[in-house]
Homo-oligomer: A and B are copies of this chain.
Amino acid sequence: VPEPEEPEWLSTHEQVVWVALAGVLIKLPGVLDAQLQRDSGLNLFEYFVLSNLSQRENHTVRMSDLASLVNGSLSRLSNVAKRLEQRGWMRREPAPDNGRYTNAVLTDSGWKLVQAAAPGHVRAVRHFVISALTAEQACAVGDACTSIMQRIEPGSTWP
């Protein structure tokens, strides 16, 4: 029978790296979620959405562009946008020039929310991530994550 090929197993060293990274993958989002939820009633992804909107010209971005800016699927963003819209923090409107596009727009109250939420969130990111790293580690982590993201991006070939 055609047994599946044995993969190249992880070395002890590689296992250590992966276990450490996996721990961060599982726990860090929850910690940051908790701070945002407690202080601002937002989860991490919702914060990314509003924060990204607040940094764009006219506080406006096309939905599909916003989705890739926050590394989420368009479907996920659409569901989140509905919630944020219901709470009055953003609104959606057809693009004036092309009705097939939808623009996401930050409202005034959304803008105020982001401004109020940012300090606490930045403090948490600094506490749990940035200040835990040496300058060299920070550099390496940045490069490493950029490299990982490239493999994930569409276009990379994977069974």
Q: Which residues of A contact B (CB under 8 A)?
A: 4-10, 13-14, 16-18, 20-29, 31, 45, 48, 70-72, 119-120, 122-130, 132-133, 136-152, 158
Q: A26 near B71 (CB under 8 angstroms)?
A: yes
Please tell me if the beta carbons of B143 and A137 are within 8 angstroms of each other in the complex: yes
Report B-chain residues with C-beta under 8 Å of the C-beta of A27.
71, 149, 152
Listed by A's residue number, 5 A-B pairs whose Cβ atoms lie within 8 Å are A10-B126, A14-B138, A18-B130, A28-B148, A132-B144
Copies in the complex: 2
Task: Please state if B149 and A23 are interface contacts (CB–CB under 8 Å).
Answer: yes
User: Could you say which residues of chain B place their CB within 8 Å of the CB of A149?
Assistant: 20, 23-24, 27
Cβ-defined contact, B16 with A119, below 8 A: no
Taking a contact as CB atoms under 8 Å apart, the answer to whether B7 and A119 are in contact is: yes
**A23 near B133: Cβ-Cβ < 8 Å:** no
**Cβ contact within 8 Å between B7 and A122:** yes
Among B13, B26, B151, which residue has its beta carbon within 8 angstroms of that of A127? Answer: B151
